[in-house]
Structure 1
């Protein structure tokens, strides 16, 4: 077994790490060639070829001409992951209802390895930027520049937040993106007090969002729900009070669904 034997870190299986790196490269590069992939991973060309042949035979990737793409087997595996996730089952209907009420994009997200992953989303009849929101499903987002992400960060202890930021660094998406730890901590304190987070053009200029965390029966954060809309529609009292109330109400219902999902009714 080709494991990492470093005494300073937990043991890891190198071959799985390499396969993961190749899959991520194929996703990131969008239809790369063999030469492209050899430039992305630090292994010999022969080893890259062996991995590609194996991944293709297992259905994880496909080859068309000289280009590689992720395989549809990953779609079915992803659906299985989502369908087995408690917050998805508890929150799917509320996401749909909130999208219908607001007419905007509503996202149900979770934290994975320090980043935000969209588990489910629904678009209302006024929702815009369809391509952008669909692309959000394909790659994790930094927690500190989205409303849902900041709402989840506010539930973490400060040492964990500091560790995440030190590992990832700050990436400035717009002129309003938070780029220092002190400002982020001030924002997280404010979120804890008011119960929800806002993204005021911090990720995309012209877009705002409101999000709040969702906690499970053990009181630990298990995800977040958010509404996203253009600044022209998400402003004034609607942005500052009406949408936050709707988002927090939806989160509360999802939490009740999570709390009662495993409760047996008395006979």
Structure 2
């Protein structure tokens, strides 16, 4: 059986540190990965040589991502119909409600955001494409977890304790299972300050030709705009948007 190459794993670990930080110093890489200084130096020099990292001008020991990573990401996105179609639908939903619209997919116990269309309001959600969050703390994540079969859901919940992001986060597995039962019945999930105390979200599933939930779409708004008058309209918009994107993915409602 072929073995993994430790040096490649470490290089990828370094690149993945930049998913939530635009720049990092060599010292920060050493501290976050707990690797020897010499090893990190050699890996950084190699990544810079191949332009996967670039040195920040005027700061020789700080780095940011290079153009080849953008090219690889663009090549992947260009082959992914979901991203292209989701951007189109999300723009329409965002225009109708003037709130942030996201499309995310499940990756293990987390969700990863593929698409974001922001609102025009000065107070808006802090998020972005590529953001990874615990699925059980988000509306999009609960929609996707609710679609898993029992064995798959058990496998996700067995990956470790349910960490909370805010005091409102659901961290008890039994309570989460009950919440997912409600999501299955309603076809919608909400995030009532579970990932960000200042935000509220509602989400619906995006299905492919087989009927499987391949993504979820959400409308997110600050608590100051999450009013009883606005919420039903946003719920209708996210349901219609998810249905529209599902149709583009080949889903036919039975």
Q: Is the 8 A contact 1:208 1:229 kept in 2?
A: yes
What is the CA RMSD across the aligned residues, in angstroms?
Answer: 2.3
Alignment length (residue pairs): 248
Q: Summarize the alignment of residues 84-233 of structure 1 with structure 2, pairs less than 5 Å apart.
A: 84-126=79-121, 128-129=123-124, 132-134=126-128, 137-233=129-225
Match in the other structure for 1:21: 13
Match in the other structure for 1:36: 28
Structure 1 17/24 Cα, relative in aligned 2: closer, same or farther at 3 Å?
Answer: same
Structure 1 78/128 Cα, relative in aligned 2: closer, same or farther at 3 Å?
Answer: farther
**Deviation by residue 1:128-179 (Cα, 9 ceiling, x = unmatched):** 335x123xx3531111111111111110123322322332422222221101
Structure 1 28/122 Cα, relative in aligned 2: closer, same or farther at 3 Å?
Answer: closer
Structure 1 231/47 Cα, relative in aligned 2: closer, same or farther at 3 Å?
Answer: closer
- Which whole-Å CA distance do the structure 2 matches of 1:209 and 1:26 have between them? 27
Unmatched runs of 5 consecutive residues or more in structure 2: none
**Deviation by residue 1:161-208 (Cα, 9 ceiling, x = unmatched):** 232233242222222110110110011000100111011111111311
TM-score by length of 1: 0.84
- Which whole-Å CA distance do the structure 1 matches of 2:73 and 2:66 have between them? 12
Match of 1:77 among 62, 72, 80: 72
Q: Is the 8 A contact 1:151 1:213 kept in 2?
A: yes
TM-score by length of 2: 0.87
- Which whole-Å CA distance do the structure 1 matches of 2:87 and 2:18 have between them? 30
Structure 1 120/16 Cα, relative in aligned 2: closer, same or farther at 3 Å?
Answer: same
Unmatched runs of 5 consecutive residues or more in structure 1: 5-11, 261-267
Q: Is the 8 A contact 2:111 2:132 kept in 1?
A: yes
Q: Is the 8 A contact 1:62 1:69 kept in 2?
A: yes
